[in-house]
Amino acid sequence: MTLELHATPEEVMRAVGAFEEFAQGQTVPEKFIHQLTLALEECASNIVKHALQGDAQRTFKANFGRTENEVFIELRDNGPAFDPTVHIDRRREDDAEAHGGWGIELVRRFMDELSYRRVGEENVLRLVKRLDTGGKI
Amino acid sequence: MPLEIQILRKVGGQHAGAVTVKLTGSLDTATAPELERQLAPVLGGDAKDIVFDLAQLKFISSAGLRVFSSARKTLKERNGQASFVHMQPQIQEVFEIIKALPGVAIFKDEAEMDRYLAARQHTYDEKK
């Protein structure tokens, strides 16, 4: 399933709602659905805020899929090259930049794989949750 | 999922002046600004303690945690406290992972919270 979304918080939550419906239809366990929707919200919000500067005219894509053993979410945007998986020091509680690290921290904790690559003019972020018992619970 | 916000101020009796904020739904990138907006007059006033009742909160992201963190900081500056009660397991898990809110009180139920607030009130009264 692929969605094209405008760079707004409301569109981020539209993607979250669509993913939730998709995952329920694929009988993904509820706990994993929650973790995946949170990871999607965090990553898509970062795209809207940072990559696309909150410009509602700009768009990004969300692609969801399921194989036998995993569920994946892939996000593509044409913002400047930016790897959100680079560690941010979140120990500085009062620093707005440190707060930005909270989202990625949640994604890292809940996802089994988080990978970034630059393909042509696109940032491509892939989140994977394994459905077998080898995945993070 | 939208966010419903109820702000209740206790008038009279034990813990008079305490503010309870009940949240229902989803506290996320789209709804966090509205919570921030509605908290502004509360934080700008004389409230020292705010209790966030999260019994009906189904989803929270880092956007929501930032609003709580900001509220906590403001209250701490006036020797106040942000407290959280009735967290659903998935919400508690997010708090535990981020540990973004040091020093906040998290209660499993109102009885525990009332005992804590009574003890704090006793401490205020002794300092006067």
Q: What is the CATH number of the domain that holds A103?
A: 3.30.565.10
- For A49, which residue in chain B has the nearest alpha carbon? B29
Q: Name the pTM for this structure.
A: 0.87
Does residue A77 belong to the interface with chain B, where contact is any CB pair within 8 Å? no
Sign of dihedral through CA atoms B55, B61, B64, B65?
A: positive
| A80 part of a folded domain | yes
Is the confidence at residue A14, as pLDDT, over 90?
yes
How many A-B residue pairs are in contact by the CB < 8 A criterion?
54
Q: What is the spatial distance between Cα B64 and Cα B45, in angstroms, rounded to a whole number?
A: 21
Residue A90 CB contacts under 8 Å (≥ 6 apart), including other chains:
A98, A99, A101, A102, A105
In A, which residues are within 8 Å of B65 by CB distance?
102
pLDDT of residue B47: 86
Neighbours of A2 (CB within 10 A): 10
Contacts of residue A19, defined as CB under 8 A and 6 or more positions apart, other chains included, come to A36, A37, A40, A62, A64, A73
Q: Does residue A52 fall inside a structural domain?
A: yes
In a domain, A135, yes or no: no
CA–CA dist A16, A42 (Å, integer): 10
Calculate mean pLDDT across residues A27-33: 92
Position A136 in a domain? no
Distance of CA A67 to the CA centre of its chain: 18
Q: Say if A90 falls within a structural domain.
A: yes
Residues A65-98: tens digit of each pLDDT:
999 899 999 999 999 998 888 755 444 444 444 5
Rounded to whole angstroms, what are the CA distances from B99 to A21, A66, A91, B46, B69?
Answer: 30, 32, 10, 27, 11
More confident residue, A47 or A96: A47
Confidence of residue A114 (pLDDT cuts 50, 70, 90): very high
DSSP letter, residue A51: I
Nearest CB among B63, B94, B98 relative to A45 is that of B63
pLDDT at A19: 97
Which residues in chain A are contacts of B30 at CB distance < 8 A?
A: 9-10, 12-13
| Residues pairing with B26 in the sheet | B59
Q: Is A106 on the interface with B (CB under 8 A)?
A: yes
CA B112 to chain centre: 15
Closest-CA distance, A101 to chain B, in angstroms, reads 9
Q: Does residue A63 lie within any of the structural domains?
A: yes
- The size of chain B, in residues, is 128
Rounded CA gap, A26 and A28, in Å? 6
User: Is A103's Cβ below 8 Å from some Cβ in B?
Assistant: yes
Say what the pLDDT of residue B103 is: 62
Question: Is A98 a member of any domain?
Answer: yes
- SS3 of chain B: helix, strand, coil, percent, to 5: 45, 30, 25
The pLDDT mean for chain A works out to: 88
The number of distinct structural domains making up chain A is 1
Residue A49 reports pLDDT greater than 50: yes
Instruction: Tell me which chain B residues have a C-beta less than 8 angstroms from the C-beta of A93.
Output: 69, 100, 102
Q: What is the pLDDT of residue A92?
A: 46
- Domain ranges, residue A106: 2-130
Which tens digit of pLDDT belongs to each residue from B62-80? 999 999 989 988 998 988 8
A9–B59: do the CB atoms touch at under 8 Å? no
Domain membership of residue A58 (yes or no) is yes
pLDDT for res B112: 79
Residue B3, C-beta contacts closer than 8 angstroms, at least 6 positions apart = B23, B24, B25, B26, B27, B28, B31, B34, B35
Chain B residues whose beta carbon lies within 8 Å of the beta carbon of residue A17? 1
Q: What is the pLDDT of residue A88?
A: 54
Whole-number pLDDT of residue A41: 98
Question: How far is B13 from chain A, CA to nearest CA, in Å?
Answer: 36
- Residues of chain B with pLDDT below 70 are 12-16, 100-104, 121, 123-128
The better pLDDT of the pair A132, A30 is held by: A30
Q: Which residues of chain B does A14 touch, with a Cβ-Cβ cutoff of 8 Å?
A: none
